[in-house]
Amino acid sequence: MELVLKYFSDFTPQQLQQLEGLGELYKEWNEKINVISRKNIESLYEQHVLHSLSIAAVFDFPKGYEVVDLGTGGGFPGIPLAIFFPEVQFHLVDSINKKLKVVEAVAEGIGLKNVTVQHTRVEEIKNRKFDCVVSRAVAPLRDLWQWGKPLMKKNKAAVAGENDSIRASGLICLKGGDLAQEVHESGLRPHIVPIDDIFEEEFFKEKFIVNVPH
């Protein structure tokens, strides 16, 4: 938790309470349904919460935005982003229902009102459009774009948001390692932000925010 506060300080008492609540809830639920590797549950705030919030360090999600998290797993990056942006609606989608039970329980446990979940494959989502698509390392960039693009509203081009951040647009995903081949195969020209430019911890080396604006 201290690690999150090292980089972000402008939280309301409710947000602080919600962030603090994540640790105990994820530990408790991870014993029943394994959504986080047992060996790094102790690093929850660094490897999951702060990693998710790297998106918030770069992008602004305006009030009223609707965001879909593809392949949310245990709720990342969706749950931390929903805490950070309480006036934005987050729709967390996964094809594995038991993971969504954890997501629902955690959201309910910390009183998070701006999260909905859906048990489905992303390509089966119909009649819904979102301002932005987020995801964390669930598939190659080419596939994420193919799945996400039909779900995107036609937005204006990205413009500066508050505090020089960029208004979130298109696909924003968290990825690691050498992305050259993956980007080449996607045929896309994403904007790539090294997370170790934002956070100094060793864990964030060779981890990136990849944005394909829409």
| Band of residue 123 on the pLDDT scale cut at 50, 70, 90 | confident
- Give the pLDDT confidence score for residue 156 in this predicted structure: 52
CA distance 132 to 168: 7
**Rg, C-alpha atoms of the chain:** 16
136 is in an annotated binding site: yes
**What would the two tokens of residue 89 be?**
């609606």
- Give the pLDDT confidence score for residue 167 in this predicted structure: 92
**Could you state, in order of their start, the residue ranges of all structural domains in the chain?**
2-212
Look-up: residue for tokens 């036609």? Answer: 154
Q: What is the chain's percent helix, strand, coil content, to nearest 5?
A: 45, 20, 35
Closest CA to 127 of 79, 155, 91, 172: 91
CA distance 159 to 178: 28
CA distance 185 to 179: 10
128 is in an annotated binding site: no
Instruction: For residue range 3-45, list pLDDT tens digits in order.
Output: 999 999 999 999 999 999 999 999 999 999 999 988 889 999 9
- Looking at domain 2-212, its CATH architecture is 3-Layer(aba) Sandwich (3.40)
| Band of residue 164 on the pLDDT scale cut at 50, 70, 90 | low
Q: If you average pLDDT over residues 170-197, what whole number do you get?
A: 97
CA distance 143 to 71: 12
123 is in an annotated binding site: yes
CA distance 32 to 102: 9
Q: If you average pLDDT over residues 80-109, what whole number do you get?
A: 97
Instruction: For residue range 35-83, list pLDDT tens digits in order.
Output: 998 888 999 999 999 999 999 999 999 999 999 999 999 999 999 999 9
Average per-residue pLDDT in the chain? 94
